[in-house]
Every structure is written in C-alpha cells, then in structure tokens.
Amino acid sequence: MEKNKRTPVIAGNWKMNKTPAETFDFINEVKPLVKDADCKVVFCVPFVDLESALKASEGSNIHIGAQNCHFEKSGAFTGEISAPMLKSMGVEYVIIGHSERRQYFAETDKTVNKRLKAALSEGLKVILCVGETLGERESDITEEIVSKQTKIALNGVEAKDLENIIIAYEPVWAIGTGKTATSDQAEEVCLYIRNVVSKLYNKEVADKTVIQYGGSMNAKNADELLAKTNVDGGLIGGASLKSEDFSIIVKAASK
Ligand code: PEP
C-alpha cells in the first residue's frame, strides 16, 4: 500500500510537563492552528491533565491520549492508572513502552506486551514505542533490537487489533537530545519494522499499519522525515510543547 493510503498520525508526548490550567489554555491555543489538518492529531498528556485536555478538545479534531497504563484493571499498584480508568474518562490513545518508561521505570518487553493487551481489551488505541540505544546502533544490532521489541510486544495480539496499534520507531539516542535520525535512517528502520509486522501477520496488515518516527522531530526537519514512504507521522516530545512548532509539523504531515 502506498504511503498516501495510510493516514499519518502526529502525536505529542508532553512527558511530565504542564499543569491542568496550562493544558486547557494550550489546547485552546493550538486548536485553530491544526483545525485543517489532513492527518490525525493527538496529544498524550500527564494523567492529571487528561480531564482538562478532554474538555478543551471537545468538538475539535484533537484526540487525547495518556502516556502509560497498568496491565491490571485495579488493585494494589500504588501510583498506577489502569486502562479501564482511562477509557471511562473518554481517553482514546495511550503510549506504551516509551524508552523513558523502559529506562527509568523498569519496563520490559514482557510488561509492554501485558500493558498493550490491557489497553486494547478496553478499546484504547496504542502507540507502541520501540527503538535501539546508541550502543546497540553502534554494535550494528538495531534490527535485532526493534524486531525483538516488536515481536514480544505483539505476542498474542490478533491481526484485527493492528488497526488500533501505531508503532513509533524511536531511536533512544535521538530522544530529547536534539540529534535526529537522518530521514534515510528513519525510513530504513520503519520499513524494517513493517517487514517484521508482515512476517508476523501478513502484507495486507503490514501495509495498513501506521509506523511513526520519533526523536527530536521539529518544525525544521519534519518535512524531510515525513516525506519518506514508510514514515507515517511522528511522536513528538519537545516540539509538542510549542503550539507554533507543533502546528508546522502537523502541516508537514498533511501534505
Ligand atoms: C518522545 O518523547 O517520544 C520524543 C520523541 O521526544 P523528543 O521529540 O523531545 O525527542
């Protein structure tokens, strides 16, 4: 399937930034800037900001997501939030397996798989993050790493569920560092991931799967990255905190 048959998704990952009041103002500020987008627009905000993000985005083309969810529905998991809790609020998307969760919060491929399945079973759409560290790239094992992460994350997931999963290729060395993968590097790994999905399911499923690039995407480099055939949008950290920059990226994905 050609690129233009997949709808690109530009998703902001705010990480641990903005209060509920700031969220409300920001979403209202960004709404008119992205209202004509020819791509999906999502903001994944901190848990405490979800309510004000949902309220501010009502009636607009902005979709709201969380940045994580637990694999159990409820129980003794202090500090965690479950998929049914998110669903009950009207949240649509959730990021699973972000490298910062893997790095600082002991997230493993297995817990990523459990969280992803919990989210899907509640009808949430998942943005699944995979990507290699600098050491892994330098050791020439990028493909092994993203293949392993993708296969374990999708273990036990049916083909029909892939339409509710976006895969974000996020090289860890490019996240929050200002170092972007070149558009050729991004294309190469996104295509590789598409082939992994094809082998796990089939070509038709792989052709329909949205695969984003994430890692220091910004208003300046978005055009070139998003022009690549297998790059179907972006997961945007830093630049999603600035309405003008974010809207330029949305425009680049809408071409
Ligand atoms: C991210 O947090 O997923 C990300 C890509 O961050 P940044 O754009 O800041 O590198």
> Ligand 1: does its nearest atom lie under 6 Å from the Cβ of 217?
yes
Asked whether 176 lines ligand 1 (CB < 6 A), one says: yes
Distance separating alpha carbons of residues 6 and 38, to the nearest angstrom: 11
Grade residue 178 by pLDDT with cuts at 50, 70 and 90. confident
Q: Whose CA is nearest to atom 2 of ligand 1?
A: 237
pTM for the predicted model, two decimal places = 0.97
10 Å Cβ neighbour count for 129?
28
Give the number of the atom of ligand 1 that is nearest the alpha carbon of residue 240. Answer: 8
Helix (H, G, I), strand (E, B), or coil: what is residue 132? coil
Quickly state the pLDDT bin for 23 (edges 50, 70, 90): very high
Mean pLDDT of 182-198: 98
d(CA 235, CA 211): 10
131: Cβ below 6 Å to ligand 1? Answer: no
- Distance CA(150)–CA(131), nearest Å, equals 9
119-165 per-position pLDDT tens digit: 999 999 999 999 999 999 999 999 999 999 999 999 999 999 999 99
Q: Are 46 and 100 within 8 A, CB to CB? A: no
CATH number at residue 31: 3.20.20.70
Q: Compute the distance between CA of residue 95 and CA of residue 189 in angstroms, rounded to an integer.
A: 20
pLDDT of residue 81: 98
Write out pLDDT tens, residues 212-229: 999 999 999 999 999 999
Pocket probe mutation, ligand 1, options 236, 242, 246, 249, max atoms within 8 Å of Cβ = 236
Amino acid in position 21: A
- Which residue's CA lies nearest to atom 7 of ligand 1? 237
State the average pLDDT for the chain: 97
Is the predicted pLDDT of residue 2 greater than 80, yes or no?
Answer: no
Average pLDDT of span 93-100 = 98
Q: Closest Cα to atom 3, ligand 1: which residue?
A: 237
Q: How far is the CA of 233 from the centre of ligand 1 (A)?
A: 13
Is the confidence at residue 36, as pLDDT, over 90?
yes
Domain boundaries, position 135: 3-253
Residue 244 has a pLDDT of 98
Q: What is the pLDDT of residue 1?
A: 60
Percent pLDDT > 70 in the chain is 98
Per-residue pLDDT, averaged over 80-104, amounts to 98
d(CA 176, CA 236): 10
- Catalytic site residue from 70, 98, 132, 187: 98
Overall number of domains in the chain: 1
Compute the distance between CA of residue 66 and CA of residue 165 in angstroms, rounded to an integer.
14
Report pLDDT for 233.
Answer: 98
Report which of 112, 126, 130, 220 is spatially closest to residue 171, judged by C-alpha positions: 130
